[in-house]
Structure 1
Amino acid sequence: MATFEELRSIAMALPQTTQVEGDPLFLVAGKQFVWTWRERVHPKKTKVPRPEVLAVRVPDQQDKAALISSDPTVFFTESHYDGYPIVLVRLPQIGLPALTEVVQDSWRCVAPPELTGTA
């Protein structure tokens, strides 16, 4: 079981990462790579933040499908993210090594090439 503090420690260790105050929303170069999932509970009302569920970027649809099929108790999606390389992660269900890997991979998806060493 991973905690918000562990998530924060992993994310903030990555170069040029910032956090939006009071929210698990992490940015690199102004682009979000980890954020709180907001669930549409009622069609005509504002989405409800679910801090125990994170949205993270993945490289592509194949990676998204592989994560979901690897452990659907941890990784899932919803119709809002259909067609997008974003997977939802249940924070209380994920182990620390897996959380570290998905956060680092998500950061690499949006970080400028000069930060990732691919420039």
Structure 2
Amino acid sequence: MATWDDVARLALALPEATEGPTHGGNRSWRVRDKQFAWQRPLRPRDLAELGDAAPAGPVLGAYVPDVGARTALIADSPAIYFTTAHFAGPPSVLVRLAEIDAAELAELLDEAWACRAPRRLVAERRGAG
């Protein structure tokens, strides 16, 4: 079970990552002012859409490389990953934070960071690690 402290620790360990509020005041993590992960409380419309499948706990939003990656994550681990109609277009996924372990969270955040970071910064990180 991951916590917001885990998200912050892992996200801020990535090169040039910062934390700040979203427009709604929730926590978000950015690289060079591009958001790559964010706290995403479910809204009434989300709850109505998800019905009984709506998670009761905290939800993290994160960028993924493309919609196909999102589809694969949801298909492989539907207890962890999901989406709503609001996110039909952008390449991002929603995460039941209470269901993801630290290792998978670290991998997800690293990939989300790489989706939004400048190519040179990603190349430097990949070359270093």
TM-score in terms of structure 2 length:
0.80
The residue that corresponds to 1:78 in the other structure is: 84
The residue that corresponds to 1:41 in the other structure is: 44
Q: CA deviation at 1:20?
A: 0.6
Give structure 2 stretches of 5+ with no counterpart: 47-55, 125-129
Q: Which amino acid aligns with 1:55?
A: G
Q: Distance in 2 between matches of 1:51 and 1:25?
A: 17
The residue that corresponds to 2:28 in the other structure is: 25
Give structure 1 stretches of 5+ with no counterpart: 44-49
The answer as to 2:97 corresponding to 1:106 is no
Q: For 2:58, what is the secondary structure of its paired residue?
A: strand
Q: Which amino acid aligns with 1:15?
A: P
The residue that corresponds to 2:51 in the other structure is: none
Deviations 1:67-110 (A, max 9, x none): 00111111000000012211000111101111000000000000
Bigger strand share? 1
Q: 1:51 to 1:32 in 2, by over 3 A?
A: farther
Deviations 1:1-35 (A, max 9, x none): 01111111100000111101584300101110000
Q: Distance in 2 between matches of 1:39 and 1:81?
A: 12
Judge conservation of contact 2:81–2:96 (CA < 8 Å) in 1.
Answer: yes
Between Structure 1 and Structure 2, how many residues are aligned? 112
Deviations 1:21-70 (A, max 9, x none): 58430010111000011433169xxxxxx981011000011100000011
TM-score in terms of structure 1 length:
0.86
Identical columns (%) = 38
Q: Please report the RMSD computed on the Cα atoms of aligned residues, expressed in angstroms.
A: 2.0
The residue that corresponds to 1:5 in the other structure is: 5
Bigger helix share? 2
